[in-house]
């Protein structure tokens, strides 16, 4: 699947939220979409990726960003925001 296959809500809540923080973070989610069979799979794997990234230390963070290394606290804030967006997305799809 490609990011173009995501619903507008999923794209905005995950990809654009990540990109507004740092383009490198958005690339990680974009790359992830290539290994997903559909949007639900992408959401599930995005949650797993976020939970893994929350365990990163400063050295790990430096290894995933090409430049403009973010503060670890700011990194956690955006990861939590993306998770909040996913919860809202999942709630929306239940309606």
Give the residue extent of every domain in the chain. Answer: 3-94
> pLDDT, tens digit, for every residue of 15-24?
999 999 999 9
Sign (positive/negative) of CA torsion 87, 88, 89, 90? positive
Candidates 23, 35, 5, 31; CA nearest to 67 is 23
CB 5 within 8 A of CB 40: no
User: Residue 31: pLDDT band by 50, 70, 90 thresholds?
Assistant: very high
> pLDDT, tens digit, for every residue of 52-82?
999 999 999 999 997 789 999 999 999 999 9
Which pLDDT score, from 0 to 100, does residue 90 have? 76
CB 81 within 8 A of CB 45: no
| 34 has pLDDT over 70 | yes
- Rg for the chain, CA atoms, rounded: 13
């Amino acid at each position: 699947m490609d990011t173009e296959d995501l619903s507008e809500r999923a794209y905005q809540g995950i990809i654009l939220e990540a990109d507004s923080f740092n383009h490198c973070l958005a690339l990680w989610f974009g790359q992830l979409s290539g290994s997903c069979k559909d949007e639900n799979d992408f959401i599930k794997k995005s949650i797993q990726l976020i939970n893994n990234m929350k365990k990163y230390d400063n050295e790990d963070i430096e290894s995933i960003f090409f430049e403009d290394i973010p503060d670890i606290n700011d990194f956690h804030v955006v990861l939590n925001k993306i998770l909040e967006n996913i919860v809202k997305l999942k709630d929306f799809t239940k309606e």
